A and B are shown apart, each in its own frame.
Chain A
Amino acid sequence: MTDRSFGFRTRALHAGTPPDESTGARALPLHLSTSFVFDSAEHAAELFALRTYGNIYTRIGNPTVAAFEEKLASLEGGLGAVATASGLSAQLIAVLSLAQTGDHLVASSNLYGGTVTQFSVTLKRMGIETTFVAPGDFGAVRGALRENTRALFVETIGNPSGNVADLAALAEIAHAGGIPLVVDNTFATPYLCRPIEHGADVVVHSATKFIGGHGTVLGGALVESGRFPWGAGRHPLLNTPSPGYHGLNFVETFGEYAFLTRARAEVLRDVGASISPMNAWLLVQGLETLALRMPQHVANARAVAEFLRGRAEVAWVAHPDLPDSPERERAARYLPLGAGSVFTFGLRGGREAGRAFIEALELWSHLANVGDAKSLVIHPASTTHQQLDDEQLIAAGVGPEMVRLSVGLEDVADLVWDLERGLAAAARAARVPA
């Protein structure tokens, strides 16, 4: 073996996926097996007691899933990863590895709506309370920390607002408060930003998006840096005897691996939100070409943003890479290769213009997802948020005029051609001169 530090593209192809040891297969084998035989009764006992490594049951681990986990961990610069059924389950398992009833989280107020619901409804019902604060207001973030706060949660690029988190500053605030910074890096992917390099301790992903890259399968993962001092006193779930493992103390026994071991062996085991090996296999295919796809996503998104910015039917464009974006400085620091390809813009003419715009499109797929190779569009006011009136929409940060794009890999000229048709329809609906 060699001690060379290999580049991102090389690791995207090779990390976690050496040739198969038993067959020599060059591609990653798909291990569609729920269970794995024990060598002996003693071997089984050692596995269940976490004293040796190996496979037991696919809910806890699987060789194909492990290959995806190691590859993603390598690309994020982490110690290891735990893959899950979806991005939301990755977050749930990250939180439940750190917090229990009576505990508290601080989270950015600019988060994916599904995350807001998970935190403010489901986790709240489980007795874990969340305070939402503007991630750019450092005083508010600091002021929201309590004795029982277990983590600070932000998105690298906020969905759908497009705000870019100041990861280094937030990591410093979190660490001063004795807690880890947990970052949802879904919109950036490790190709555009590696939060651990900026001080983050745990990274979560919806791998469903750009990592899979083709809109085919759901999946999620959490990655950990291995640097956070879990034994320093603020995380008793990791540093007191576990009733789930005969009094085992994860920090004492597993050292830097304490968080990842508990996340898998106790939380994933008990929550059961495991990824299918089939999905992990497809996500590995996605990671292999991530470094080829992301630059094209970025270039197409910039071209589309520039086009929209020059149009009279468009009131505003919120893309962090635009020269007049308030996010530009942070985007240049944390996303030097580009701020991804998901962004929003506002149509003149409000809700009716938005509906007309969407219905006139031929090439952009109208659906609720992002990060596909195909270009996607959604108008929240006439779909996901249609039950809200205009005032409620604005309160939710989703104006009636807002359209979200996820720019894919088609020819830009064709994307722009289609948007022009949509804008013409929007203008007719809004009676705004084009």
Chain B
Amino acid sequence: MILETASARRALLDRSRTVAMVGASPNPARPSYFVFSFLRTRGRFDVAPINPTVAAIDGVRSYPSLAAYAAERGAPDIVDVFRRSEEAPQVARDAIAAGAKAIWFQYGVINDEAIRLADEAGLDVVVDRCLKVESARFDGGLALGGLNTGIVTARRRVR
């Protein structure tokens, strides 16, 4: 199912623990490193890089492929995609084969075929959103930056 509402994205994050990040870069200037480092240091997620060109990032072992990840760690809750849009369909096929429960296409990763493949295979799909931003939207981080979370509630947030 394609998740288009804030509440659906929040529910996905609440029920997810493991994140396989396809295209995670060890270069500290790259956006994927920002997201990787954010998820790693927050402790809320168990995040692993999927990058055949490096052995590890910040001490976290990198897997050469989603298949290699799944063989050792089992199906990931979320496959987070930092690849060019034209490579997204292959990542979607790999995510389906790995048994992923959800696939998350980062800002600018937009490919109709990839979305359709994942949706039809029963994965939850998020498109053109940032996992870091959405995570921070619901945990209070975004609000500390003066950013509009869209959250309106008189209920106290429970950690």
Contacts and interface: CB of A to CB of B under 8 A. Distances in A.
- Interface size class on chain B is 35 or more
A21 interface: yes
Contacts of B141: 52-54
Contacts of B133: 257
B154 A52 contact: no
Given A80-B145, A82-B146, A51 B34 contact: yes
Contacts of A74: 148, 150, 152
Interface in A66-94: 66-67, 69-70, 73-74, 78-83
Contacts of B30: 252-253
B148 A53 contact: no
A248 interface: yes
A10 B153 CA distance: 10
Contacts of B157: 18-19, 21
A1 B146 contact: no
A26 B154 CA distance: 8
B42 interface: yes
A16 interface: yes
Interface stretch (B2-10, B15-23, B62-70): B2-10
B38 A52 contact: yes
A302 interface: no
Contacts of A24: 156
B31 interface: yes
A379 interface: no
A46 B148 CA distance: 22
B111 interface: no
A383 to B, nearest CB: 36
A425 interface: no
A252 B27 CA distance: 13
Contacts of B143: 16, 66-67, 70
A53 B156 contact: no
A283 to B, nearest CB: 13
B151 interface: yes
Contacts of A55: 144
Contacts of B146: 61, 65-66, 69-70, 73, 80-83, 260, 264
Contacts of B144: 53-55, 61, 63, 66
B154 A18 contact: yes
A14 B152 contact: yes
Contacts of B102: none
Interface string A252-266: 110111001000100
Interface string A4-38: 10100011001110111100101000000000000
B31 A253 contact: yes
B107 A46 contact: no
A18 to B, nearest CB: 5
A52 B145 contact: no
Contacts of B107: 255-256
Interface residues of A, number: 53
A82 B34 CA distance: 22
Contact of B147 (A2, A79, A248): A79
B136 A53 contact: yes
Contact of A249 (B29, B147, B156): B29
B10 to A, nearest CB: 6
Given A52-B41, A52-B141, A253-B29, A18 B148 contact: no
A43 interface: yes
B34 A66 contact: no
Contacts of A66: 143-146
A70 B147 contact: yes
B118 to A, nearest CB: 22
A411 interface: no
A323 interface: no
B147 to A, nearest CB: 4
A282 B133 CA distance: 29
A167 B11 CA distance: 39
B85 interface: no
Given A3-B6, A73-B148, A246 B28 contact: yes
Interface string A372-395: 000000000000000000000000
Contacts of B38: 46, 51-52
A49 interface: yes
Interface in A387-430: none
A67 B149 CA distance: 11
B155 interface: yes
Contacts of A2: 7, 152-153
Given A1-B10, A18-B156, A24-B156, A42 B41 contact: yes
Nearest to B11: A1
15 contacts: A18-B153, A18-B156, A19-B156, A21-B159, A26-B154, A42-B41, A51-B34, A52-B37, A70-B147, A70-B148, A74-B148, A79-B147, A80-B147, A253-B30, A255-B108
Interface of B: 5-7, 10, 28-31, 33-34, 37-38, 41-42, 107-108, 130, 133, 136, 138, 140-157, 159
**5 nearest A-B residue pairs (beta carbon):** A69-B146, A53-B141, A80-B147, A73-B148, A19-B156
